[in-house]
Amino acid sequence: MKKTRILAISPVPECIYLAAQHRSEWDELHIAGRKLIARRLQEWKRKPDIGEILIMVPDIENGKEVRHSLKELEEIKVRWFSRTPSVTKACEGLKHVRCVEPDVMADGVSSKFPSHKSKQPSDKPDLLDYVRYKITLALMRSLDPDPLKQAVDVIAKHFGKTFDLADIVPDDIKSIEYMRDADFPYLEGQSEKIAALKSRIRQVAPSDISVLIIGETGTGKEAAAFYLHEFSKRRSKPFVSINCAGLQEEFLRSELFGHVKGAYTGAAGSRAGLVEKAEGGTLFLDELGDMPVAIQADLLRFLQTRRYRRMGEDHEKKADIRVIAAAQRDIRRKLESKEVRKDLFYRIAEVEIETPSLAEVPDDLIRIVRNIAYRLKDDPHIVEDTIAYFEKRQGVLRNYPWPGNVRELARCVKQRLNLGYDVVKDLDSHQCGSEEMPEQVTITGPNSIRPVDEIVTQYVRRAYENRGSMTQAEVALRLGIAVNTLKKHLAGPDA
């Protein structure tokens, strides 16, 4: 009986290219990594049908555990494509294990796969975009190896040929273009809440049910919306998004439903709206709670009939799209204050999905730092030094409230990577002063009770007055609110 040849691979581009180079030498692909490889080896020692194991994991964390697992696989031939000291030490002296120099990692992608560079302009997706897309899918699907195997097979099949994504993977093009433009959004984390979020997305995505995503600013609501689209039958069609906050009624109506020439002052020509542009795909409405009430009525009618009119047009058009919306956690307060129509809410929130704040998933902080750092910088030495910097200061990171959530953390990582700032020290100083209110709030009796919104506005204005050199965007990020929300507080109740 023919024995199975196993490939263990880290989900990084260099390993994907290396796996394609050796495609004829393995039968099954499994995802591993610097921590997971030891557990994978333990699993395989119990399988008698394995003939050889190829490992493409550049580095390891738990060398002693890996070496112990390798010793127990003495009946199986092992080839490990790495020359890093941690791997070499774990394999040293084991006769059934051979360390191999991974040329593709050392020389870089372009030298080994020059013919795979796309001939398209630089603003079009290329091979690296395709590979990163497949890696992200694998991670979102809880280490599903199928997307990586698909990427490896495509690369191996077209080795030595011009790599044009539009011809080779046409069904993936729309998704790759969006992910590239959005810098490959990914819901990083392995905590219970993040795992539940990913599972919920995969469960709900295949249906055409309307979804409302609820969460704070910077918690990945648009990323969640995209994966609801990506894991549905609509994935080859457009994913179109718009932020409804701060947009005037006439402009937003035109953006959503389009207009014809002369529909309003300045309408010099006809224009398709986002509903039309999303045909067959998904329309994502961010900040639903800030949508003008008049537009909410139009949206409700569209959701009920799937029909709409361009501004200035008499006849109706029909659209086949899925609508996903997102809102802040104060959406239910806005329901009670009638800022959001209840009939629209219950029509669009057929399923609710919540994205946790960064403060709710402290165990994922370093994982998120690692993910961000490797996305932002190519130099592994700088990246690892940056990760080590944050690891040593986990206590401060865990105690900080992260009002800007992942977006704020990404800014800190970027400043550390590129400027070397002691960003955690700055966070610690902000945390020490954060408990001081701009002025003491006291309640001396029934007549002294004030509306919460009034107190919030007072706090926001005081924070803005003491912003120093911070921009409006930075103040909003620190407060954990949208820039438009900041402007509303600053403008006053009559704005």
Q: Convert the pLDDT of each residue in 64-76 to its tens digit.
A: 999 999 999 988 9
Q: Of 457, 446, 443, which is closest to residue 488 (Cα–Cα)?
A: 457
Number of domains making up the chain? 4
Residues ≥6 apart with Cβ < 8 Å to 221: 213, 215, 286, 326, 355
Same domain flag for 349 and 371: no
What is the C-alpha to C-alpha distance for residues 326 and 435, in angstroms, rounded to an integer?
A: 30
Residue 125 pLDDT grade (very low, low, confident, very high; cuts 50, 70, 90)? confident
Query: What's the pLDDT at 263?
Result: 66
- Assess if residue 471 is contained within a domain: yes
pTM: 0.79
What is the C-alpha to C-alpha distance for residues 334 and 327, in angstroms, rounded to an integer?
A: 10
- Assess if residue 181 is contained within a domain: no
Place of tokens 């955690």: 424
Query: What's the pLDDT at 106?
Result: 45
Place of tokens 């865990």: 398
Place of tokens 């329309």: 283
- Assess if residue 456 is contained within a domain: yes
Same domain flag for 390 and 335: no
Same domain flag for 344 and 366: no
CATH number, position 284: 3.40.50.300
52-103 pLDDT per residue, tens: 999 999 989 889 999 999 999 988 999 999 989 999 999 999 999 999 988 6
CATH number, position 134: 3.40.50
Query: What's the pLDDT at 116?
Result: 47
Structure tokens at 94: 């084991």
Same domain flag for 464 and 418: no
Same domain flag for 364 and 350: no
Same domain flag for 336 and 235: yes
- Assess if residue 178 is contained within a domain: no
Same domain flag for 339 and 422: no
What is the C-alpha to C-alpha distance for residues 224 and 189, in angstroms, rounded to an integer?
A: 13
Domain that holds residue 301: 192-354
Whether the pLDDT of residue 107 is over 70: the answer is no
Residue 146 pLDDT grade (very low, low, confident, very high; cuts 50, 70, 90)? very high
- Assess if residue 180 is contained within a domain: no
Whether the pLDDT of residue 115 is over 50: the answer is no
Query: What's the pLDDT at 371?
Result: 87
Q: Of 234, 224, 155, which is closest to residue 187 (Cα–Cα)?
A: 224
What is the C-alpha to C-alpha distance for residues 240 and 463, in angstroms, rounded to an integer?
A: 35
What is the C-alpha to C-alpha distance for residues 31 and 40, in angstroms, rounded to an integer?
A: 9
What is the C-alpha to C-alpha distance for residues 120 and 299, in angstroms, rounded to an integer?
A: 39
189-200 pLDDT per residue, tens: 889 999 999 999
Q: 354, 379, 400 — which closes off a domain?
A: 354
What are the phi and psi torsion angles at 156 (to 5°)? -65, -40
DSSP character string of 351-412:
EEEEPPPGGG-GGGHHHHHHHHHHHH---HHHHHHHHHHHHTTHHHHHHS--TTHHHHHHHH
Same domain flag for 14 and 99: yes
Same domain flag for 255 and 135: no
What is the C-alpha to C-alpha distance for residues 319 and 280, in angstroms, rounded to an integer?
A: 8
392-446 pLDDT per residue, tens: 999 999 989 999 999 999 999 999 998 888 999 888 765 544 444 444 555 555 6
Residue 228 pLDDT grade (very low, low, confident, very high; cuts 50, 70, 90)? very high
Same domain flag for 334 and 216: yes
Same domain flag for 112 and 15: yes
- Assess if residue 117 is contained within a domain: yes
Kindly provide the b/e burial profile for residues 438-469, where b requires at least 16 CB atoms within 10 angstroms of the residue's own CB. eeeeeeeeeeeeeeeeeeebbbbeebbeeeee
Query: Roughly what angle, to the nearest 10 degrees, separates helices 13-21 and 127-140?
Result: 110
Instruction: Identify the bridge partners of residue 55 per DSSP, sorted by sequence position.
Output: 8, 80
Please, are residues 15 and 106 in contact by the beta-carbon 8 Å criterion?
Answer: no
Burial of residue 79 (CB within 10 Å: 0-12, 13-18, 19+) is: middle
- Assess if residue 174 is contained within a domain: no
Query: What's the pLDDT at 108?
Result: 47
Q: 304, 328, 354 — which closes off a domain?
A: 354
Query: What's the pLDDT at 104?
Result: 57
Q: 109, 134, 169 — which closes off a domain?
A: 169
Whether the pLDDT of residue 124 is over 80: the answer is no
- Assess if residue 428 is contained within a domain: yes
322-366 pLDDT per residue, tens: 999 999 999 999 999 999 999 999 999 999 999 999 999 999 999
Same domain flag for 456 and 410: no
Query: What's the pLDDT at 405?
Result: 93
Q: Alpha-carbon dihedral of residues 206, 209, 210, 211, nearest 10 degrees?
A: -50
Three-class secondary structure of residue 54 per DSSP = strand
Place of tokens 């507080």: 489
